[in-house]
Amino acid sequence: MTSLPMRVRDEEGNFHLEDTNQNERSLWLLNPPNPPPLGKKLISSLKNNKFFLSSKNKTCHQHVASFLRSLFPILSLFGNYDAFKFKDDLLAGLTLASLSIPQSIGYAILAKLDPQYGLYTSVVPPLIYAVMGSSREIAIGPVAVVSLLLSSLVQKVVDPNVNHDGYRNVVFTVTLFAGIFQVAFGVFRLGFLVDFLSHAALVGFMAGAAIMIGLQQLKGLLGISHFTNKTDVVSVLESVYKSLHQQITSGEWYPLNFVIGSSFLIFLLSARFIGKRNKKLFWLPAIAPLASVILSTFIVYISKADKNGVNIVKHVKPGLNPNSVHQLQLSGEHVGQAAKIGLISAVIALTEAMAVGRSFASIKGYHLDGNKEMLAMGCMNIAGSFSSCYVATGSFSRTAVNFSAGCKTSVSNIVMAITVILCLELFTRLLYYTPMAILASIILSALPGLIDIREACYIWKVDKFDFLACIGAFFGVLFQSVEVGLLVAVSISFAKIVIQSIRPGIEILGRIPRTEAFCNVSQYPMATSTPGILVIRISSGSLCFANANAVRERILKWVTQEDDELKERSTNFQEETTRGSVQAVILDMTNMMNVDTSGILALEELHKRLISRGVQFAMVNPRWLVIHKLKLAHFVDKMGKEWIFLTVAEAVDACMSYKLPI
């Protein structure tokens, strides 16, 4: 205890002045304005909700104009748009269409729908999004993961092989619900729900889904006639093996499917590889799918290979999107399940679209309002459900192509949609001889972009728990089903939050040399602790029922341990110890966001037990809610107002000067 008196004597000169200041600060600390009550908070968050109307002083006319501009961002194009921009958008749109048409047909087959529904989905949603959405690069249409999700979930409700029309009607109903949920997310500012699928979980989920989508393509690639409805890897491989074995033994297997599919797959992957290496050749992977379709269709038509067992698309219904309002099933047995699937699809679709939209907006340096995007996505899916489309969203691969092709505004989506319309009106008959294996290889060639091993390694390196969510989602999707994978990922993510929030750790703080800052002594080994004074910080965000008792016991154990060790040392070695026993415990509450009644009870108990041991207890910098609750619970009166400080340094000084007389 040699350093104690000296230190205080040093500061004694200006101690009284300091003291006055400190008293004033204590008053500030103890008498803050009341925190806004719960009701008021809710009201203010609801007020924020009217995001269309800015509350600035504008005339009615200005209000309407700003409302319309906010709802239809395309309006703000007028005046800025010129021929040069249109030329860029036209080129980008055409490139996009050449990729969209084959992909849409492939994804429709993946969703177990007829090919034309994929094309329909590339017409109406992109047009709606182009006028309502604020992203300039995003390419709208059917995507692989949502198609897989829909087919794997809806086929549990209605079997597409048994009741094809019923299945399709449920898909439209799901699309309607997905749109409604997306609009609701946007209007009620529930965009944060999309964030519940963490980045890590998304990486795992996408990789798992990609593998599953790839496995589904084995049907087309190998020309298998019987395929399982299950989506887990074991069932699919088993079914592929059995069917293949049976078809080969019965002589019904035609290797030509595989030959065509795999040779074009090699071509597509090479194009992709070249396009990646040489950014100027970005158009090569973009038009390669359409080129493959045309080429292979031509080959099959010429060689009459369909007579030799090559599976072909056959009839694609010509004409524009038919009306599907009367096919929506808003009553009946499947409504509840359709709504559930709609919710899952809405979240997955939004997650993909937001990820895509945000990353490209960030490259171009503009801001994407999540809630408005959701509104636009919702409207386009509702409109889609009325016009024979299934759930559309922003596609990773096509958006990248759109961006590389130099699109300037969402007009490129309009160009793409018009091209698809032309295709639907004029060229569907040409698709008759397109081999299924080509569609499978087009989908397969797009999958590597969904598997991001580098990112998984990065996640492993940075956060092991995040990696657990990632790998959980991956294996959940792979070995169980899409929903299980999502559930596992979300559960692990939330379990992590709970565990971190209630971890009853405590940290010992010490003074960083030449500052007034007190930090964790393990993190800063150079930090010095004051003899006899234990400065403690709780390493969790709230002192609540789940950790309060453990924290209290740890602090008490620390105090008693230090005392016992000292006793033992002094009896064993019969010497004066240089460090005093613990005379004061200072609890730094800076990082404690909240406290509940169990936490306050634990603090009361801690205070009582420490005082009964002759140890002073001080609190530092309790936050707004915490000091408010402590005052309500009369704990401030119990422990004495003079033992609550604004900074740790003040508390240490006060504890030292208090202990001096003894």
Q: Which residue lies nearer to a second copy by CB, 232 or 373?
A: 373
Q: How far is the CB of 449 from a second copy (least distance, A)?
A: 19
CB of 540 closer than 8 Å to CB of 554: no
Q: How far is the CB of 69 from a second copy (least distance, A)?
A: 16
Q: Which residue lies nearer to a second copy by CB, 314 or 608?
A: 608
Q: How far is the CB of 517 from a second copy (least distance, A)?
A: 5
CB of 145 closer than 8 Å to CB of 138: no
Q: How far is the CB of 471 from a second copy (least distance, A)?
A: 13
> Amino acid identity of 303?
S
Q: Which residue lies nearer to a second copy by CB, 159 or 553?
A: 553
- Quick one: DSSP state of residue 98? H
CB of 324 closer than 8 Å to CB of 387: yes
Q: Which residue lies nearer to a second copy by CB, 52 or 479?
A: 52
Q: Which residue lies nearer to a second copy by CB, 196 or 258?
A: 196
Q: How far is the CB of 569 from a second copy (least distance, A)?
A: 12
- Quick one: DSSP state of residue 137? S
Q: How far is the CB of 599 from a second copy (least distance, A)?
A: 9
Using DSSP's 3-state secondary structure scheme, residue 44 falls into: helix
- Helix spans in 447-547 (H): 453-462, 464-479, 482-502
CB of 189 closer than 8 Å to CB of 51: yes
Q: How far is the CB of 642 from a second copy (least distance, A)?
A: 18
Q: Which residue lies nearer to a second copy by CB, 107 or 467?
A: 467
- Count the Cβ atoms, other than its own, within 10 Å of residue 281: 14
Q: Which residue lies nearer to a second copy by CB, 34 or 250?
A: 34
Q: Which residue lies nearer to a second copy by CB, 85 or 631?
A: 631
**Hey, CA dihedral for 593, 599, 600, 604, is it positive or negative?**
negative
Q: Which residue lies nearer to a second copy by CB, 192 or 298?
A: 192
CB contact set of 567 (below 8 Å; sequence gap of 6+): none
Chain-centroid distance of CA 148 in Å reads 19
Cβ-count burial of 103 within 10 angstroms (0-12 exposed, 13-18 middle, 19+ buried)? buried
Using DSSP's 3-state secondary structure scheme, residue 435 falls into: strand
Q: How far is the CB of 597 from a second copy (least distance, A)?
A: 5
Q: How far is the CB of 624 from a second copy (least distance, A)?
A: 4
Using DSSP's 3-state secondary structure scheme, residue 162 falls into: coil
The angle, 0 to 180 degrees and rounded to 10, between the axes of the packed helices 144-154 and 199-216 is: 70
Strands 616-620 and 584-588: what pairing?
Answer: parallel
Give me the residues paired with residue 510 across strands.
519
